[in-house]
Structure 1
Amino acid sequence: MPEMPEVETVRRTLTPLVKGKTIEKIVVWYPKIIVNDPDEFVKKLTNKKILKIDRYGKYLLFRFNDDLTMVSHLRMEGKYHLVTPDAPKQKHEHVEFIFTDGTALRYDDVRKFGRMHLVETGTERQTTGIRHLGPEPNTDEFSLEYFRDALSKKKKNIKNTILDQTVVCGLGNIYVDEVLWQSKIHPLSSAKKIPSDKVADLYRNINHTIAVATKERGTTVHTYLDANGETGGYQNMLQVYDHAGEQCSSCGTVLEKIKVNGRGTTFCSHCQVLYK
């Protein structure tokens, strides 16, 4: 699933491709992608101009004139790419926005899990999935005091806790494995039992890793591509994710892989301490 650095990279690469363009026509090949009534969705967005694209967590927010916002979640494998309207439809393309300048934006999603939700601008935090999200890394809202307090209330293990988007949003399986290894915390540690100094380490590593991964244009280990069809660069910096069976770069111990709530989880049994 694209995580916060990947979605931010999509936003940055998609913006110059579509900003200022006006929608002439919308083709919906797979209506379940649209949260609203598909016909109403098409009617409301026809002749609207894309003013800009914002992001919160893993959500893209397409801002249109007349106070309309399309909240888009890419889920597992959603992608946007610019084509010409006469380009042959590909198997996994499900929605097409045709612009008045003779270009078209298509949404491609192998698993069909992505969603588009049209709402009144300014209501995203009340009417869409964004309402359930906690603060983003590297923001004033995500303070160390807030993070310590949030962990102290959680009975879950730390892996599931920081995957919980209500605690801190934007991290998925890749970056959680990485920040836990960096912080020397075992993924099955009880969130509320982690010492204060280790919580501070984890907090700093979350902020730093998300910032670096964003600078590197995200991580491509499976199918992620930006709006220009290009891969990210952070996969070359991964220390544990997708490295099970290899030696830990810190101590040489062979990295192990287990399942945590159904998620493949790679860690170092020597470096990462289990707090219970």
Structure 2
Amino acid sequence: MPELPEVETIVQGLKEKIAGQRISRVTLNLPKIVRSDLKEFLSSLPGQVIERVWRRGKFIIIDLSRDHSLIVHLGMTGQLTYVSSAAPLLKYTHLTLQLENNDLHQLRYRALRQFGYIRLVDSGQLKGVESLAKLGPEPFELTLEQFIHLIGAHRGRIKPLLLDQGVIAGIGNIYADEILYRAQIHPRRPADSLTPLHLKKIYHAMREVLVAAIEKRGSSVQDYVTSDGEAGEYQRLHQVYHRQGQPCFRCGALIAREKLGGRSTHYCPRCQRYIVYTMKGARI
């Protein structure tokens, strides 16, 4: 699933190109991706001007001129691209918005697996939309002190906690693995066992990894592409994600992979050692 760096890359690419453009025509090939009244969706969009494109967590928000907003969720395989109207229509393109700049360009939503969706809402009701209202703070909005208090207040294991969108918005499986590797913290460590120094390392690793991934336009591991339809580059810099069985760049130990909370988790067993203390002593 596209995570914060991928969604932010798409938003940055789109807002430079589609803000100020008018939607002239809507073509919907898969009605079930629309999670709002279908008739209103199809009748309201033509004629509206795109005023702003922004991100909240893993959601793309497109504000329109008639106090409407589109909420776009890419699901597992979704793509949102700005392309020439003459470009071939790829299979699994579910929605096309024709833009009124001499009808030269379109905004296309495409997804192989149909887990994503698009929803039209009144802009004034955005904060009340459940999928947005339940999101935690953005990673870049948190101070170190706020992060330490936020994570330290939980007892769950640190990786599932980073993945919990109600705790922090935008981090997914790829970047949770990369963040914890950089911080040298085992993904199974309980949050309440982490010292302020541990949490400081995670905080700075989180910011550094996300910034670097945005600079490289995200990770194209499977279906993700930028708004231009191009692949990202950060997957070339992954330290642990999808590198199971390969040597750690830091110490040479083989990267391990296991299931944690139903998700594949990648880590270095040497750099991210987890010591469990028992009545009989310590074991690793």
- TM-fit CA distance, 1:12: 1.4
Task: Call closer, same or farther: CA 1:105–1:274 in 2, change over 3 Å.
Answer: same
Q: For the Cα contact (< 8 Å) 1:190–1:275, is it kept in 2?
A: no
Task: Call closer, same or farther: CA 1:65–1:34 in 2, change over 3 Å.
Answer: same
**Counterpart position of 2:128:** 126
Q: For the Cα contact (< 8 Å) 1:194–1:275, is it kept in 2?
A: no
Cα distance in 2 for partners of 1:275, 1:237 equals 28
Tell me whether 94-103 or 176-185 shows the greater mean CA deviation.
94-103
Cα distance in 1 for partners of 2:184, 2:86 equals 53
Cα RMSD between the aligned structures?
1.6
- TM-fit CA distance, 1:275: 6.0
Q: For the Cα contact (< 8 Å) 1:158–1:187, is it kept in 2?
A: yes
Gaps of 5+ in 2: 277-284
1:153-199 deviation per Cα after TM superposition (whole angstroms, max 9, x unaligned): 32321110000011111111111001111111111111111122101
Q: For the Cα contact (< 8 Å) 1:133–1:168, is it kept in 2?
A: yes
Counting matched residue pairs gives 274
AA at the equivalent of 2:95: V
Q: For the Cα contact (< 8 Å) 1:49–1:65, is it kept in 2?
A: yes
**Counterpart position of 1:68:** 68
Q: For the Cα contact (< 8 Å) 1:216–1:232, is it kept in 2?
A: yes
Q: For the Cα contact (< 8 Å) 2:11–2:55, is it kept in 1?
A: yes
Q: For the Cα contact (< 8 Å) 1:117–1:128, is it kept in 2?
A: no
For the pair 1:233 / 2:233, whether they are aligned, the reply is: yes
Task: Call closer, same or farther: CA 1:86–1:210 in 2, change over 3 Å.
Answer: closer
**Counterpart position of 2:115:** 113
**Counterpart position of 1:256:** 256
Instruction: Percent identity, please.
Output: 34
1:106-162 deviation per Cα after TM superposition (whole angstroms, max 9, x unaligned): 2101111111111122432212411111111222xx122222222233232111000
1:4-53 deviation per Cα after TM superposition (whole angstroms, max 9, x unaligned): 11111111112233222211221221111111011111112121011121
Cα distance in 1 for partners of 2:176, 2:41 equals 36
Cα distance in 2 for partners of 1:157, 1:128 equals 26
Cα distance in 1 for partners of 2:175, 2:26 equals 36
**Counterpart position of 2:172:** 172
**Counterpart position of 1:36:** 36
- TM-fit CA distance, 1:87: 5.7
Cα distance in 2 for partners of 1:26, 1:130 equals 25
Cα distance in 1 for partners of 2:164, 2:212 equals 21
Q: For the Cα contact (< 8 Å) 2:83–2:228, is it kept in 1?
A: no
Q: For the Cα contact (< 8 Å) 1:193–1:275, is it kept in 2?
A: no
**Counterpart position of 1:137:** 139
Cα distance in 1 for partners of 2:213, 2:81 equals 22
**Counterpart position of 1:51:** 51
Gaps of 5+ in 1: none
Q: For the Cα contact (< 8 Å) 1:186–1:275, is it kept in 2?
A: no
Tell me whether 148-157 or 242-251 shows the greater mean CA deviation.
148-157
